[in-house]
Chains A and B, each alone.
Chain A
Amino acid sequence: MANRSYTSRRELDEHTFHPAVAVLVPVGFIILQALLPRPFPKLAILDLPLIATIFFAVGRRSPIAGTLTGAAIGLLQDALTNQYIGINGITKALIGYTAASIGFKVDVESITTRILMIFAFCLAQSGLLYLIQGNLLGQNIQMLWLHELLRAVVNTLIAVPIFYLLDRTKSDV
Chain B
Amino acid sequence: MESFFVRFRNALVLVAVLLAQTILLAVQVRDLRGPSQADGRKVTLLRSWAAGAVAPFERVTALFGRGVRGNWNNYIDLRRTRQQNAELQKEVARLRLEQAEFAEDALQGRRLQALLAFREHYVNATVAAQVIGTSGVDSSKVLLIDKGADFGLKPDMAVITPDGIVGKLRDVFPHTAQVLEIDDPSSGAGVILASTRIRAIVRGGPDGRVQIGNLTADSRIKPGEEVLTSGGDQVFPRGLKVGTIESIAPDRDRQLYTLIRVHPAVNLSQLEEVLVITGTQAELPAAAQQDLAAGDAAAQQIKADAQKAEAQRAADLAAERLPSLTPPPNADGTPAATDDGASGGDPLHPPTASVKPVPALHPDRYSPGATPPAASLTPGGNNPNPAAAPASQQSAESPTSGDGEGSGESAAPRPKKAVTAEPTAGAAKKPATADAAAAAAKKPKTAPSAAVPAAKEPQR
Interface residues of A (CB under 8 A from B): 27, 30-31, 33-39, 41, 44-45, 49, 63-64, 67-68, 71, 75-77, 79-90, 93-94, 97, 101, 129, 136-137, 141-142, 144, 147
Assuming the contacts A67-B14, A81-B140, asked whether A38 and B133 have C-beta atoms less than 8 A apart, the reply is yes
> Could you list 29 A-B pairs, sorted by A, with CB under 8 Å?
A30-B54, A31-B54, A34-B58, A35-B61, A35-B134, A36-B136, A37-B138, A38-B270, A44-B137, A64-B10, A68-B17, A71-B17, A79-B46, A79-B50, A80-B54, A80-B133, A81-B136, A81-B137, A82-B184, A84-B29, A85-B46, A90-B18, A90-B21, A90-B22, A90-B25, A93-B14, A94-B18, A142-B206, A147-B207
CB < 8 Å: which of B28, B61, B142 contacts A85? B28
Residues of B within 8 A of A45 (CB): 138
Contacting pair B13 A136 (CB below 8 A): no
Total A-B residue contacts, Cβ distance less than 8 Å: 138
Residues of A within 8 A of B13 (CB): 63-64, 67-68
Roughly how many angstroms separate A93 CA and B20 CA in the complex, as a whole number?
12
Residues of B within 8 A of A88 (CB): 137
Roughly how many angstroms separate A172 CA and B140 CA in the complex, as a whole number?
39
Residues of B within 8 A of A89 (CB): 21, 24
Q: Which of B117-133 contact A (CB under 8 A)?
A: 131, 133
Residues of B within 8 A of A101 (CB): 10
CB < 8 Å: which of B24, B36, B136 contacts A77? B136
User: B290 an interface residue at 8 Å Cβ cutoff?
Assistant: no
CB < 8 Å: which of B10, B28, B51, B138 contacts A63? B10
Residues of B within 8 A of A141 (CB): 206
- Tell me if A's interface is mostly helix, strand, loop or mixed: helix
Q: B265-307 vs A: 1/0 string, CB under 8 Å?
A: 0000110000000000000000000000000000000000000
Identity of the chain B residue whose Cβ is nearest the Cβ of A141 in the assembled complex: B206
Assuming the contacts A67-B17, A86-B25, A93-B14, asked whether A81 and B142 have C-beta atoms less than 8 A apart, the reply is yes
Number of interface residues of B (CB under 8 A): 49
Identity of the chain A residue whose Cβ is nearest the Cβ of B36 in the assembled complex: A82
Contacting pair A86 B24 (CB below 8 A): yes
Contacting pair B178 A82 (CB below 8 A): yes
Would you list the 6 A-B pairs with minimal beta carbon distance, nearest first? A79-B50, A41-B269, A33-B136, A81-B140, A142-B206, A44-B138
Contacting pair A71 B21 (CB below 8 A): yes
